[in-house]
Structure 1
Amino acid sequence: MSDEQPTTNVGTDILFENDVVRVWRMRLAPGESSELHRHLHDHVFVYANPSVMEAEVSGEDERIRQPSDEGFTFYREVGRDGLLPHRLTNVGTTESTHYIVELLGPSRSDEPQPPVHNGRLIPGHETNW
């Protein structure tokens, strides 16, 4: 990745925010990428439609492929310092929409934890995470 500075905007627009949660929508057309961003808060993702996304993580060579079916949901504890900056790209053939619910305040974990998900991946698509 370039010298681009990451943002904390983890979605394309904010739908709701109070002292406890912030709810984002991330909408990407086929071939479109998100801003380089970081997650500083534990969060839940929910995919509204089947989507094939790839994540490019700063400092890592391999891209993470995530073929998510409608209703794919995962929870992630980001740790005290948050996650590494990354960018999502819609590598599918249809628009992708998912929602991110950030749990504001300190993470429940000192170190980032692997995501816990409901397993709703698109059958027949490979994933590498």
Structure 2
Amino acid sequence: MVEIIEKGQYHTGDFSEELTSAEEGNRHIGTKLLFRNDEVGVWEVRLQPGERGGFHLHDRHYFWTVVKGGIGKQRTADGVYHIRRYEEGDTSFLPHTPSDSVIHDFENAGDSEIRFITVELYD
């Protein structure tokens, strides 16, 4: 089960270009696109300690599963961040739509590689 270690605020101005790109439709949701067809996109998220995936948009249903656990820091567009502990096998489904979208980044805040598989579901 994912554990929240810390929650706080950050200054969105530090990421203004990335946030604008995400608002304009940046859907690069992983570090490597493994597969895509008309129904799904399968992404790998693989980050070394200190490495960060930039802000991106989720406006479709998706789920992720942790392949290699660790500590992750996620910032959302509203200026809030969460630091969480992820364990192998943790999985979450997020039912986002164009009218209920989310913009966030993801940073490896731990001391070893972290790895997820994320599957985006297309209509």
TM-score, normalisation: structure 2: 0.78
Gaps of 5+ in 1: 106-129
Q: 1: distance between equivalents of 2:107 and 2:101?
A: 17
Instruction: Tell me how large the CA RMSD over aligned residues is.
Output: 1.3
Structure 2: unaligned runs, 5 residues or longer: 1-11
Q: Residue 3 of structure 1 aligns to a residue in which SS?
A: helix
Hey, what does 2:63 align to over in structure 1? 44
- Counterpart of 1:115 in structure 2 is none
Secondary structure in structure 2 of the residue aligned to 1:36: strand
The structure whose residues are more often helix, as a share, is 2
- Can you list the C-alpha shifts for 1:79-124, whole angstroms capped at 9, x where unaligned? 333533211111011011101000112xxxxxxxxxxxxxxxxxxx
Would the alpha carbon gap of residues 10 and 35 (structure 1) be closer, same or farther in structure 2, given more than 3 Å must change? same
Asked if 1 retains the 8 angstrom alpha-carbon contact of 2:42 and 2:118, the reply is yes
Question: Which structure is richer in relative contact order (CA contacts within 8 A, separation 6 or more)?
Answer: 2
Match of 2:38 among 11, 14, 19: 19
Looking at structure 1, the residues matched to 52 and 110 of structure 2 have their Cα atoms a distance apart, in angstroms, of: 12
CA distance in 2, matches of 1:83, 1:54: 19
Letter in 1 for 2:93: Y
1:77 is the counterpart of 2:90: no
Equivalent-residue separation in structure 1 for 2:94 and 2:85 (angstroms): 17
How many residue pairs get matched? 104
Q: TM-score, normalised by structure 1?
A: 0.75
Aligned-partner residue type, residue 16 of structure 2: D
Name the structure 2 match of 1:116.
none
Which letter does structure 1 place at the counterpart of 2:53? S
- The residue type equivalent to 1:15 in the other structure is L
Q: Report the Cα distance in structure 2 between the residues aligned to 1:82 and 1:13, rounded to whole angstroms.
A: 25
SS state of the match for residue 97, structure 1? strand
- Superposition pairs for residues 53-64 of structure 1, below 5 Å? 53-60=72-79, 62-64=80-82
Runs of 4+ in 1 over 4 A off after TM superposition: none
